[in-house]
Amino acid sequence: MKVVRLEPGSRFDWPAPAVTIGNFDGVHRGHQALVATAVEEAHRRQGAAAALTFDPHPARVLDAARAGPALTTLEQKAELLSGLGLDALVVVPFDAPRAAQSAEAFVREVLAETLHARAVVVGRAFRFGHDRAGDAALLARLGEALGFAVQAIAPVEHEGEPISSTRVRRALQKGRVEEAAALLGRPYFVDGTVARGEGRGRALGVPTANLDLLNEALPALGVYAGWCRLLEAGERPRWPSVVNVGTRPTFAGRHTTVEAHLLDRDLDLYGRHMRLEFVARLRDEQAFPGPQALVEQIRRDIERARPLLDDGSGRKL
């Protein structure tokens, strides 16, 4: 999948493009349905399938104080979208002039004149343009005049309610990583670089990989069962892990950290890029009377995590 940034004067010569539009934060199951429809339409037309997104997220420009934490970086978004059969991801820089652009001008400039779209796929609740004045009905009317068809698809629901990035964020804020996974269609993950911590885990016999994170959104403070893997070329095995998101209250910590204890492994991972996938919440974070009580609880956490991370291979976890 090509990733291209829309610049002034950009022109693309893709065959009969089918384009889906959205912020795609988290690339959840609703986003996946939009992409699947665009890919199907592109195949029907023997054309190219593209997703169009914005960077930064429009909420950061329009109302930064109320913008929620992003679920994915732009690079993670591209990675997730690339696995869905798209030919291209078009990134539209979003700034004050773009925010002031009318819905009609956006459609003519970007969809018609730049991308030469022949089909456009959006959600039924899609809004765009200055003051969010444009909707799917306007897009369809403009498409008739400019030579592209529009499909507005129904939202994907989970437990009777539409899936949205906001809903995923709310699940994470409550520590409900299982619910977040059901909405995303995969476990929620964060990426980062393994940094040197204070060495307490190793001294206690439970060494941890401490992450300097790229992601903004985190699950609620607590202890989780999860998977770790390195973000490097070649074979990338997953390691079962117990992950702590918290302030280390037993040691009077003040800042939120994310650290993972890899089950039955002690690896030198400093400086390497790692991904943590959150599978299940084990417990709330809590302060213990001393290091030994903490270690005993971590051992219980490990034994509780093992069956939750059983991958069916029969190997010891």
> Which residues are annotated as catalytic?
259
Q: How far is CA 96 from CA 42, 91, 130, 239, 283, in A?
A: 32, 16, 10, 44, 44
CA angle, 74 then 193 then 297, to 5°: 115
Whether 23 contacts 71, CB under 8 Å: no
